[in-house]
Structure 1
Amino acid sequence: MIHILHLLGTVLGWLTIVVAALGVVYLTAAALVFRRYFAAATPAPARHEAVTLVKPLYGDEPRLSDNLASFIAQDHAGPIQLLCGIQRHDDPAIAVVEALKAAHPDAQIDLVIDGTIHGASGKLSNLINMEPLIRHDVVVLSDSDIAVAPDYLAQILRALDQPKTGLVSCVYAGRGDTGFWSHFGAAGVSYQFMLGLVFGVANKLATPCMGSTIAMTRETLRRIGGFTRFSDKLADDYAMGEAVRELGLEIAVPAMLVDHAFDEISFAALWRHELRWGATVRDVAFWPYVGIIIGLPLPVAILSMLYWPTVGLILCALAVVARLVVVRTVNATVGRRIAPLWMALAHDGMSFAIYIASFFVRSVDWRGATLTMKTEGRIVAAHKIQNAEQRA
């Protein structure tokens, strides 16, 4: 038994060394790929197509009005419908939308207030209730915490024009809106998640579909079954992308960044948010998720010090330098400092803890509701499980 434990310790020790070393190489290479990917971006001319922008809303987020206004302030020559959906008549987001309509009287801003539930996902219920009011043939869905640049629609429409493209999605950088913990979350999504995302897209290893932008024609939306098909999906964005691929169409990710606003005001809120992300990705792409540990060389290098302190210390130093290269590259590309280096390094530690915990999670929190994860990415609300148990 002692011999087996010693052998296991040796294997794990060398594994941490190898993973940390590969992680240092990966971060450095990913920073270079990131810079080249966005350096290749070109301006897109204004377009004339009629577009419906679909916005499911819930609550008054810190900069909700600014986020929504950025979708109206587009360099776009055609009609734009901003379609907002809310599920409660007492939701403070209603006042935000009404104020936006008053501030932009010439804009086509429609508000749907409908609490009808169609499945476990409140967001999808909201979208299903809005779907009949979509006016135009190009549909662009995005989360309420997304803000965009004036050329957003021009870039989206140009990408959607490409042969065999059925859906367009966008890479996003983090933006902290409510103090320390929101900046902490923005550091993680910008210096870890976004980096890996661009690396996968640039090297044709992945073509993700994300809630930051899901743009398609209304005909494509009809062909994939409308929003109703995804009413019990936690990773509804991923499921929509898969449905589009089933049609033989492709997903395009243009070299353009949008902002994803973080509004967490506590460690607990951020932990729940990121744990939901981790568990969701684990369920829809298990083996790629296992491999993302390579993007966290610092925590792994610290573990390697338990086996070989000298080598582990060297790897820690190299991991810090690699993360510094990432931070500077991302900041230069985005055009602002998202978070300090020490915050990026600290978030590596939190990400490692989230990574481990995510393999043991079977239920997640979503806007105060507990959702139990089932097979094939399905979710069931906790109250439905309780009712089923009572009937049994």
Structure 2
Amino acid sequence: MIHILHLLGAALGWLAIVVATLGIIYCTAAAFIFRHYFAAATPAPVRHDAVTLLKPLYGDEPRLYDNLASFLAQDHAGPIQLLCGIQRADDPAIAVVKALKLAHPDADIQLVVDGTVHGASGKISNLVNMEPFIRHGIVVLSDSDIAVAPDYLGQLLRALDRPNVGIVTCIYAGRGDAGFWSRLGAAGVSYQFMLGLVFGVANKLATPCMGSTIAMTRETLQRIGGFGSFADKLADDYAIGEAVRALGLSIVLPPMLVDHAFDETSLSALWHHELRWGATVRDVAFWPYVGSIIGLPLPVAVLAMLYWPAAGLVLFALAAIVRLVVVRSVDATVGRRIASLGLALAHDGMSFAIYIASFFVRSVDWRGATLTMKTEGRIVAAHKIENAEQRA
């Protein structure tokens, strides 16, 4: 028995050494690819297309007004309809939308307050309630915590013009809006998730569809059955992308960035947020998610030190240097300092814990609701499960 445990320990030790080494190589390559990917960006022409912007809202986030206002400050000559959806008559986001309308009296801003539930996903229920009010032929959906540059619509529309394109989605960098924990989350999404995303897209290993932006024609939305078709999907953005791909259309990510605002004020809030992300990705892309461990060479090098201290220490030092290169490369590309190197390294440790925990999660918390994960990416709200048990 002792011999077997020794062999198992040796195998795990060498595995950690191999994974840490591959991770260092990967992070170095990913940092180079990241800079090259956005170097291809070019100015977008001013367009005259009529566009409906969909904003499902929930609560008053720290910079919600500024986030929404960025979608009105566009270098765009055509009509823009900003359609905001809210599910509760007492939601503080209503006051934000009203203030936005007062500040932009000439803008076409419409507020839809409707609490009708269409499935387990509150976000999709919100979108279903907004759908009848869409007036224009191009629809752009984005989360409430997204802020954009003035050329946002021009870049989207140019990409949507490409042959056989069904959806345009956007890569996003983190922005901490609520202190330390929000900055820690911003560091993770910028220096780890975004890096891996660009690496996968540039090497044609991934074609994600993300809530940061989903731009499509209204015809395409109708062809996939409208938003109601995704009412019980946790990864609704992924499911929308899969439905569009099933039509034979492609998803593209132009070389542009939007900001994703983090507003977590505690470790618990950030933990639950990122655990939901991890569990979601695990369900929709299991083996790629397993392989994503190479994006965490620093904590894996710590494990290697437990087996072979000298080799592990060397790998740890190299991993820290590579992470510094990543931080500098991302900040230079984004054009601002997202977080310190210390926060980036701290988040690597947290990401490793999230990675391990995500394989054991079958329910997640999302905006005050507990959602149980079922097969094929479906979710069921906790109250529905309780009702079913009571009927039984």
TM-score bucket (shorter structure): over 0.9
Letter in 1 for 2:56: P
**Separation in 1 of the partners of 2:265 and 2:329?**
27
Give unmatched runs, 5+ long, in structure 1.
Answer: none
Q: How far apart, in 2, do the equivalents of 1:70 and 1:277 lie?
A: 26
Alignment of 1:207-246 (within 5 A): 207-246=207-246
Aligned to 1:31: 31
Aligned equivalents of 2:68 and 2:255: distance in 1?
A: 22
SS state at 1:34 partner: helix
> Aligned residues: percent identity?
83
Q: CA deviation at 1:10?
A: 1.1
Aligned to 1:41: 41
The match for 2:323 is 323
Per-residue CA distance 1:331-350 (angstroms, 9 max, x = gap): 00001100000100010000
Indicate the residue corresponding to 1:4 in structure 2. 4
Superimposed CA distance per residue, residues 68-90 of structure 1 (whole angstroms, 9 cap, x where no aligned partner): 00000000010000000000000
Deviations 1:247-277 (A, max 9, x none): 0000010000000000000000000000000
Amino acid in structure 2 at the alignment position of 1:50:
A
User: In structure 2, what residue type is equivalent to 1:204?
Assistant: K
Please state if 1:332 is matched with 2:354.
no
Match of residue 111 from structure 1: 111
Partner SS for 1:186: helix
Q: Which amino acid aligns with 1:58?
A: Y
Q: CA deviation at 1:168?
A: 0.4
- Which residue matches 2:352? 352
Distance 2:228 2:311 in 1: 54
Query: Who is 2:97 aligned against?
Result: 97
Query: Which letter maps to 2:46?
Result: A
Residues 43-87 of structure 1: CA deviation (Å, up to 9, x unaligned): 110101000000000001110000000000000010000000000
> How is 1:341-380 mapped onto 2 (pairs within 5 angstroms)?
341-380=341-380
SS in 1 for 2:136: coil
SS of the equivalent of 2:118 reads coil
Partners of 1:90 and 1:204 in 2: how far apart? 45
The whole-number CA distance in structure 2 between the counterparts of 1:80 and 1:368 is: 32
* CA-to-aligned-CA distance 1:75-125 (integer Å, 9 cap, x gap): 001000000000000001001001100100110000000000000000000
> Offset of 1:15 from its aligned partner?
0.3
CA distance in 2, matches of 1:226, 1:374: 22
1:12, 1:78 → 2: CA distance? 59
CA offsets per residue over residues 221-265 of structure 1, 9 Å max, x none?
000110000000000000000000000000010000000000000
Task: For structure 2, list consecutive stretches of 5 or more residues without a partner in the other structure.
Answer: none
- Alignment partners' CA distance in 2, 1:151 and 1:390: 53
d(CA) in 2 for partners of 1:298 and 1:115? 46
SS at 2:234 equivalent: coil
Q: Identify the residue that residue 21 of structure 2 maps to in structure 1.
A: 21
SS for the counterpart of 2:28 is helix
Which SS does the other structure have where 1:356 is aligned?
helix
Task: Say which SS state the counterpart of residue 62 (structure 1) adopts.
Answer: coil
Q: Pairwise mapping of residues 278-317 of structure 1 onto structure 2 (< 5 A)? A: 278-317=278-317
Partners of 1:20 and 1:222 in 2: CA distance? 46
Q: Name the counterpart of 1:50.
A: 50
Counterpart of 1:276 in structure 2 is 276
After the TM superposition, which segments of 4 or more aligned residues of structure 1 sit over 6 Å from their partners?
A: none
Q: Distance in 2 between matches of 1:294 and 1:388?
A: 42
2:147 is the counterpart of 1:161: no
In structure 1, distance between residues paired with 2:83 and 2:46:
21
> Secondary structure of the equivalent of 2:306?
coil
**What's the CA shift for 1:3?**
1.8
Task: State the superposition RMSD in angstroms.
Answer: 0.4
Q: Per the alignment, in what secondary structure is the counterpart of residue 306 of structure 1?
A: helix
Equivalent residue number for residue 76 of structure 2? 76
> One-letter code of the match for 1:186?
A
Q: CA deviation at 1:2?
A: 1.8
| Cα offset, 1:5, TM superposition | 1.2
SS of aligned partner of 1:188: helix
Partner Cα separation in structure 1 for residue 171 and residue 325 of structure 2? 20
The CA deviation at 1:4 is 1.4
1:194 aligns with 2:231: no
The structural deviation recorded for 1:7 is 1.2
Q: What is the CA-CA distance between 1:6 and the residue it aligns to? A: 1.3
Q: Cα offset for 1:376?
A: 0.5
Q: Distance in 2 between matches of 1:231 and 1:256?
A: 29
Give the secondary-structure state (helix, strand or coil) at the position aligned to 1:175.
strand
C-alpha separation between the residues in 1 aligned to 2:194 and 2:147? 16
| 2:181 counterpart residue number | 181
Q: Are positions 1:247 and 2:247 aligned together? A: yes
* AA aligned opposite 1:82: L
TM-score, structure 1 as length reference: 1.00
